[in-house]
Structure 1
Amino acid sequence: MTIAEVRQSAGLPEVMPAYLKALSYAKNDPELLVRLAHQFERTGEFEKALELVSQVDADSDHIHRARLVESRVLKRDKQMPQAKEILEKLVKELPEQEELRLEAVGDLALIHDREGDFDEAFRMMTSIKQVHLSRCASQKAASDFATQRFAVLADSLTDRDFTRWADELEDRAYEPTPALLTGFPRSGTTLMEQVLDAHPQIVSTEEKDLMAREILPSIHGKLSAEHSLLEVLDQISHATVEKKRKFVWSAFETLSGQSLGGMTHVDKNPAYNLLIPLYLRLFPETKLLIALRDPRDVLLSCYLRYLPLNPVSVTFLTLESTAHRYALDMTAWLKFSEMISNPWVEVRYEDMVGNMEVEARKICQTLGLEWHDDILRYREKLQHKQVTSPTYADVKKPIYKRSLNRWKNYEKHLEPQFETLAPFLEAYGYD
């Protein structure tokens, strides 16, 4: 195996044995050493990760990334003082606006949060947001454009639109059963997805953004941006629907590495509330799983985390913009839920943590699946599985209640946004 082949395969946990075979190449490639160490850290193989970062020369351009990986291993291995020491050193050594430094500040802020130093955690996370705010113009423009178009779509849809699309549905017994797991980022979708993925009749795909990045641009065709999304969805021909469905299933089979025939496929995308109409246009039979969590905890959790700057994360650079985006997405769901006839279920994160089996059984019933005890053993499957969500480390831990009512530690910072969140606190019983 060549270094080029190893680089191409990096990021896919199922080829981890290939990584091991290629370590003789990696010894002379510090970038590859760090990338492999990062993979082992994500899959919980800490000794292998530490062995690899120890091989990165101190004068290498990649030594700081190696140290960041080392700090994450130590943190997950409950060696918090050592992890904190490494992070503090990185923050001092790296240029103020370098992205790697911002990652280190984000990790350090979460350690302060764990230690109960909430003001310092909030101050450090805000410093990251300020840097991103100074250079987010292109991402914000893209986010504002897309969000506005989907907001108009949500306002203009009626139940007749959903009914008309559903009437076009043919017998799909030979295809997988589609399910969309959404709600809002940081509402517990990662936990729910990993629990469901343990069911032998379920295959999940995690945050691949296929609909937004591939399908929507392709069906837009020659229509200009002046045409509404409702017009775009209405003009799709039957042949186009068939073509796009085949493409989607082929892509999901490639991503999952297995045939999906006879299976239920769960597409987990927590920021897809506004894309539900697109889903139901191509897959009118989609079953919907909506993750809920106390909106105040959602607000805090979206803000109190480093995320690379992109058209989704740009929304979370201020508490105000986060609260307004939450209100937009959840208002859309409240409207859609009254207009569609598809099976759907709302699952509160707090209930999932309190009694996972009860909630999982409720989801299985919505999906039309028999209960299977493998769901209760979902963590066994997670041991050597790579989770792509930013919360990959948390989801592999036993279920804990530390994240419940976390917002109370930051109430003075969050309070100005409570009026925006009030309708949803009432609607979902959190008031």
Structure 2
Amino acid sequence: MRAGRLGEAVGYLRRVLADRPGDASARIWLGQALCAGGHTFEGCTALRDGGILLCETAPDSALPIAALLQQQGDAAGSLAVADRVAALRPASLQAQMLIATAAAQTGAPERALVALEIARGLAPATAARDVLAASVESDMGRAADALARLDGIDPAVITPIDAFRIAKERARALDRLGRADEAFAEIARGAALCDALPEYRAADRALVPAILAADAAAFDAAMVRRWRDEPPADDGWAPLFVIGFLRSGTTLMQQILATDPQVRVADEEPVLSGVIQAFQAGSPGSPQTRIARLDNLDRPARAALRARYRAIAEMRTGPLGTERLVDKFTLNAIDLPLILRLFPEAPIRFMVRDPRDACISACLQLMPPGPSTVHMLRLADAARFHAAISAQWHRHRDALGLHYCEVRYEALVADLEGTMRRALAGTGIGWRDAMHHFHQASPGQTIASPSRAQVRQPLTTAKVAHWQRYGRHIAPVAHIFEPALDDWGY
């Protein structure tokens, strides 16, 4: 593995396990090798099973496996391993913290708080632990408790990253309590604190705006229409793409669709990213725009990239069989030209929400640093980023007549069945009465979105026009929102 010969390592470890299926170390090594090669679905299963086996002989040694599973996005697997360790080592602080973080991600907030209280009794309080507890309390609707907990953190234990997270969680709690001006002040405080954090300073703020600006300059409506009219490069399946802007309802849509047993959701899985890497590797250093390079792809090249997409999808979500893949990666809207070129037949659903609501909501969330999320720290930056994303969509929508692909968040929460019946037309997925109960489906499921708590609750219109509470703060950037507001009629 250290030599990078992952395929050989996987083959060897499979042979070992064929002879010794109970070998925990071999199973864990297999999981690590598979995950390193991008086969996270099978790799996480091997890590989980190996971690549970390891608990029989060395429970403490299984904790790094639980942590690794969380890093790989498998909170449910992490919880299974950490639970087993905690049963054998109830005084393990690390086990309780792993249980708390995994339980919070899998829709078990009460369990998370219990684990955090146990952890509190095992070691002195830390700011990170109280921030996590406050986040869980906010998700449970206990915003006053969350705020009190945050305000009670000992300043002596607060690190710079803790201070930033406290500001973000205070903003969320204050927003839930209807104290919008104070919440907005915390958004601003968090953004100022973030400027000193290396992980956020390292994020390439210019990357995505530059990509979108280059696409806009090279846009050719006739070319895009030709792409859409060309037959697919092969006869293989195409996914349903669910895209939009952050906090626009994409996670809600995925959870509704996932009630169909014949639907497999790739939830924020970077499937298209692997295709982009292969596409870029095919023309290193080319002076052409990516639009021109996409147009130059011949049929065999497009077929190869389509095949790569399918391979990555199954590596990350498991063998599909007869299931339909729904690729919900919200900001795949950035790479809309690639989608249209490689999958001209693929249905697309673009989630639309009042831009002011979407941006305020995005600024309230604590998101990991990245080239896109770094724009969600300040409202003005979020507004400009939204304008660039929506302009990318509008260009292609208008060229191809894709208005029917838009699904409004406000319509969805007001009339679930009527809106979904219209949204499902042409997707190959039909309405099911189970969609009414989407929030009760898949208990214990890991949801890779800040919306994980909301989509486990019945629909509500409470957040429609929520921006009005922030009217005076939105006024200075209202002109940035105007084109999208006019286009969508808000």
Report the TM-score, using the length of structure 1 for normalisation. Answer: 0.89
Count how many residue pairs are aligned between Structure 1 and Structure 2: 423
Q: Once the 2 structures are TM-superposed, how far is the Cα of residue 149 of structure 1 from its aligned partner? A: 2.5
**Correspondence 1:118-267 to 2 at 5 A:** 118-135=180-197, 136-139=200-203, 142-166=204-228, 167-170=230-233, 172=235, 175-212=236-273, 214-221=274-281, 222-224=283-285, 226-257=287-318, 259-267=319-327
Q: Once the 2 structures are TM-superposed, how far is the Cα of residue 340 of structure 1 from its aligned partner? A: 2.7
Q: Which runs of 5+ in 1 are unaligned?
A: none
Aligned to 2:387: 327
Question: Is the CA contact 2:241–2:348 (under 8 Å) kept in the aligned structure 1?
Answer: yes
The residue matched to 2:205 in structure 1 has which SS?
A: helix
Question: Is the CA contact 2:83–2:99 (under 8 Å) kept in the aligned structure 1?
Answer: no
Q: Which runs of 5+ in 2 are unaligned?
A: 1-52, 55-61
Q: Which amino acid aligns with 2:146?
A: A
After superposition, the Cα gap between the structure-2 partners of 1:57 and 1:317, relative to the gap in structure 1 and judged at 3 Å, is closer
Q: How far apart in 2 are the matches of 1:237 and 1:36?
A: 50
After superposition, the Cα gap between the structure-2 partners of 1:103 and 1:408, relative to the gap in structure 1 and judged at 3 Å, is same
Q: Which amino acid aligns with 2:202?
A: S
Q: Once the 2 structures are TM-superposed, how far is the Cα of residue 143 of structure 1 from its aligned partner? A: 3.3
**Cα deviation digits, residues 180-211 of structure 1 (max 9, x gap):** 11121111111111111112332211212332
Q: How far apart in 2 are the matches of 1:245 and 1:343?
A: 25
Question: Is the CA contact 2:306–2:342 (under 8 Å) kept in the aligned structure 1?
Answer: yes
Q: Once the 2 structures are TM-superposed, how far is the Cα of residue 123 of structure 1 from its aligned partner? A: 0.7
**RMSD over aligned Cα atoms:** 2.6
Aligned to 1:56: 119
Deviates more, 1:198-207 or 1:329-338: 198-207
The residue matched to 2:192 in structure 1 has which SS?
A: helix
Q: How far apart in 2 are the matches of 1:106 and 1:318?
A: 12
Report whether the alignment pairs 1:38 with 2:98.
no
**Cα deviation digits, residues 110-163 of structure 1 (max 9, x gap):** 211222221111111110011223454432xx2313421332223323234334
Report the TM-score, using the length of structure 2 for normalisation. Answer: 0.79
The residue matched to 2:349 in structure 1 has which SS?
A: strand
After superposition, the Cα gap between the structure-2 partners of 1:74 and 1:423, relative to the gap in structure 1 and judged at 3 Å, is closer
Aligned to 2:161: 99
Question: Is the CA contact 1:132–1:309 (under 8 Å) kept in the aligned structure 2?
Answer: no
The one of 337, 362, 365 aligned to 1:277:
337
The one of 451, 456, 476 aligned to 1:416:
476
**Cα deviation digits, residues 69-119 of structure 1 (max 9, x gap):** 333343444444433222112373443x62233222212222112222211
Aligned to 1:365: 425
The residue matched to 1:272 in structure 2 has which SS?
A: helix
Question: Is the CA contact 1:176–1:260 (under 8 Å) kept in the aligned structure 2?
Answer: no
Q: How far apart in 2 are the matches of 1:321 and 1:83?
A: 28
After superposition, the Cα gap between the structure-2 partners of 1:91 and 1:416, relative to the gap in structure 1 and judged at 3 Å, is farther
Relative contact order: is structure 1 or structure 2 higher (C-alpha 8 Å, sep ≥ 6)? 1
Q: How far apart in 2 are the matches of 1:316 and 1:238?
A: 39
**Cα deviation digits, residues 381-405 of structure 1 (max 9, x gap):** 1432221101211221111122111
Q: How far apart in 2 are the matches of 1:62 and 1:90?
A: 9
After superposition, the Cα gap between the structure-2 partners of 1:47 and 1:294, relative to the gap in structure 1 and judged at 3 Å, is closer
After superposition, the Cα gap between the structure-2 partners of 1:417 and 1:76, relative to the gap in structure 1 and judged at 3 Å, is closer
Q: Once the 2 structures are TM-superposed, how far is the Cα of residue 427 of structure 1 from its aligned partner? A: 1.2
Question: Is the CA contact 1:219–1:236 (under 8 Å) kept in the aligned structure 2?
Answer: no
**Cα deviation digits, residues 240-271 of structure 1 (max 9, x gap):** 433332232222223333x3243332211222
The one of 456, 460, 471 aligned to 1:400:
460
| Higher Cα Rg, which structure | 2
The residue matched to 1:205 in structure 2 has which SS?
A: strand
